[in-house]
Structure 1
C-alpha cells in the first residue's frame, strides 16, 4: 500500500498547532476567531477528521465484504486507540482522585470502553478526548459508507450530502452565534455536527484517487492556508463554527487535506522530512500527552510561561515518539496479527 508522506506532514503540523494553541490558551491568552491559532484551535481537529476519513478510504477501500470483516476493522481500531488512551485516562483519573477524593466509576467505564462517544460525548476525562469519542462513532459508519462507495460512487456521495445537511443544521440552527462556543460546547461536540468532515475525507479518496493534480494541489494548499489565516472574522470562536463562516472554514479544511493528498512529494532536506514524518506518526501521542506533560510541569516547577510552553513541547515530542515506537506500534501489530489469524 502506498504511503502518503505528505499526509503525515499535515497530520504532524496540525497536531503541533493544536498543542501550541492549548499551551498559549492555558498560559498567556486565549486566541480568538480570526487569528491563525484561534482558527486552527477549532479547525485543526476538523482537519484530523478529514484526514481520518481519507486514511480509512486509502487503507480499507477493499476490506469490507461481510460482518466478519467489519468486526475485524473495529478490533484493529481499538488496538490503535485504546492502549495509549487508557494510560492517559488512568493518570488523569488518579490525579483527580488525589485532588478531590472522588472517583466517578460510571464516567471512568464510559471512557475506557469508548462508549462515551455514543452515549455521552461531553463526559470525556482527558483534554481533547471528545474528538476520539467522535471518531469511534464515525468508525461505526465506515463499513457502510465504504460499501456504498464501492457499490456506486453516487450512493456514497449522497450519504455525504446527508451528512452535510446535518452539519448545516448545526451551523445555522442548533448553535447560536450570539452565545459563546464555551456555552454551547456540548452541542458543538455532538458527533453528528462534525460527521460531514469524516465523510468528506472518504469522499476525497473515492472522487479524486484517479486524478493527477500536480499543479492544482499547491494552489489548493495556498488558498486554504490563506482562508484559515486571513479570512475576515473576529470575536469568540463561535463565529467560525456557525452560519456561512462554518461553510468557508470547513471547505478550507477539506481542500487543504485534498491539496496534501494530491501533492507530489517535494524535495526537502532529509532531516526535515524525517522530523515531519516522525511527528506525523506520533500525532496521536502528541494530541493526548501534551495536556498531561503541561499539568505536571506547572505543578512541580515554577517556570515562566514561555519556558513552560517550550519545555512542554520538547518533552511532548520526545515522549510521544518513544510511546509510538515502543508502546503504540507493538499493540498495532498485535491487533493486526490477531485479526489476520481470524481472517485465515
Structure 2
C-alpha cells in the first residue's frame, strides 16, 4: 500500500494530463472554427476532461488530508495550502487576460471591461459575463469556482472534525438534486453550484476511501476498466451519448482503476507523461491565452487548414504550459510553501503533519 502511504500516484498524474489534453483539443477545435474555418469539426468530448479533473481532485484531497484528521489547526493548513496551490497562478493568468483586454481589446473575444465583474473573477465569486454565462474573466476558471467551493466545505469538515465524506456528501448530493428544480430566478451562486458535476468530487473521495481500506480492483479488471472508461470519455462516436452522471461514473472508474494498479504493484511510468501531468494546471490555465494564436496566424498568411491549425494550437498550449510550470508555477509554489511551513512550524499540533501534506 505504498502509494496510499506516500500519496504519490504517477498514473493519476498521467490522467491529469489526459484530462487537460482533452480540454485543450476541444478548445483548439473551437478556436479554429471561430477564427479560421467555420466548418472545423468540433470535439465536444474533450470537455469530459473536467469531470475527470474533479474526480482526481476529490481523490487527491482525501489522500493528502488523511494525516490531518483530528489535528488542531489542520483546517488552516489545508485551506492555506489550497489557496497557495490554486490562486497565485490563476491570478497571474487572469491579469494577463485583463491587460490584453485593456491594451488590445480586439484580440479578446467574449469579454468586456466591467470592474465589479472583474473583481468577482479574481475572488472566485460566480458572476455573469458579457455572453450571459456564469464565467469569470478567464473563462476556463469556471472550474476553479467549483474547486474552491469544494475546498471550502472540505476545510469545514476538518474544522468541525467530521469525516470528510459524511460532511460533504449530503451537501453535494443535495446540490445535484436541486439542479433538477433550477430556474432563471435563482441567485447566481446557487444556480451555478446546483449542478450534478459536483458529484465528481464525491466519487473521487469515495475512490480514496476504498483504497485506504484496501479494496482494490484486480490487475486485469483495472486495465480493462481504465481503457473502456477513457474510450467512453474521449473517443468520438456518433451519436454522442452520455450525460454528467455517466461521464462522472466513467471518470470515477478510470481513477479507481489507475489507483488500484499503482497501489497493488510497482509500475514504470514515462517521466515525460508524469511531468506533463504535473504541468496540467498550467496547461489548462494558459491555453486560452496562447492556443488561439495558431488559427490567427494561419488566417493571416492565408492558409485555411483547420487540422493544422488545431494541431498548432495543441502544440502551443502544451509548450507554453510546460514552460509556465517549469519556470513560474513550480518555483512560485515552492517559495510560497516554504513560507507556509515556516508559519506552521510554530504550531505543535500541525508541525508534524506539514512535511507530508501536499
SS of the counterpart of 2:113?
A: coil
Instruction: Return closer, same or farther for 1:125/1:162 CA change in 2, 3 Å cut-off.
Output: closer
Structure 2 length as normaliser, TM-score? Answer: 0.76
Pair 1:134 & 2:137 matched = no
2:223 to 218, 236, 239: 218
1:53 to 46, 50, 58: 58
- Residue 336 of structure 2 corresponds to which residue in structure 1? 335
Alpha-carbon deviation of 1:230? 7.5
Alpha-carbon deviation of 1:228? 3.1
Question: 2-side partners of 1:188 and 1:232: how far apart?
Answer: 34
Pair 1:204 & 2:207 matched = yes
- Residue 263 of structure 1 corresponds to which residue in structure 2? 261
Instruction: Return closer, same or farther for 1:210/1:305 CA change in 2, 3 Å cut-off.
Output: same
Gaps of 5+ in 1: 177-185
Q: Residue by residue, what CA displacement relative to the aligned partner does 1:233-279 show, whole Å, maximum 9, x if unpaired? A: 847xxx744xxxx43222112111211221236766x7xx1221111
- Residue 315 of structure 1 corresponds to which residue in structure 2? 316
Alpha-carbon deviation of 1:45? 0.3
Alpha-carbon deviation of 1:24? 1.2
Q: Residue by residue, what CA displacement relative to the aligned partner does 1:194-236 show, whole Å, maximum 9, x if unpaired? A: 222112212211233232323232232133235436798847x
Question: 2-side partners of 1:173 and 1:161: how far apart?
Answer: 17
- Residue 29 of structure 2 corresponds to which residue in structure 1? 24
Alpha-carbon deviation of 1:280? 0.2
Instruction: Return closer, same or farther for 1:88/1:263 CA change in 2, 3 Å cut-off.
Output: same
- Residue 190 of structure 1 corresponds to which residue in structure 2? 192
Question: 2-side partners of 1:115 and 1:70: how far apart?
Answer: 21
Pair 1:167 & 2:176 matched = yes
Structure 1 contact 297–308 (Cα < 8 Å) conserved? yes
- Residue 114 of structure 1 corresponds to which residue in structure 2? 124
Structure 1 length as normaliser, TM-score? Answer: 0.78
Instruction: Return closer, same or farther for 1:282/1:229 CA change in 2, 3 Å cut-off.
Output: closer
2:45 to 35, 39, 44: 39
Gaps of 5+ in 2: 1-5, 34-38, 346-358
SS of the counterpart of 2:193?
A: coil
Structure 1 contact 220–256 (Cα < 8 Å) conserved? yes
Question: 2-side partners of 1:64 and 1:175: how far apart?
Answer: 38
Alpha-carbon deviation of 1:313? 1.8
Instruction: Return closer, same or farther for 1:64/1:266 CA change in 2, 3 Å cut-off.
Output: closer
The CA RMSD measured in Å over matched residues stands at: 3.4
Structure 2 counterparts to residues 237-252 of structure 1, below 5 A: 240-241=242-243, 246-252=244-250
Alpha-carbon deviation of 1:161? 5.1
Bigger Cα displacement from structure 2, 313-322 vs 277-286:
313-322
- Residue 252 of structure 2 corresponds to which residue in structure 1? 254
Matched residues, number: 315
Alpha-carbon deviation of 1:81? 1.6
Q: Residue by residue, what CA displacement relative to the aligned partner does 1:162-181 show, whole Å, maximum 9, x if unpaired? A: 523431442x44389xxxxx
Question: 2-side partners of 1:189 and 1:261: how far apart?
Answer: 33
Question: 1-side partners of 2:41 and 2:225: how far apart?
Answer: 25
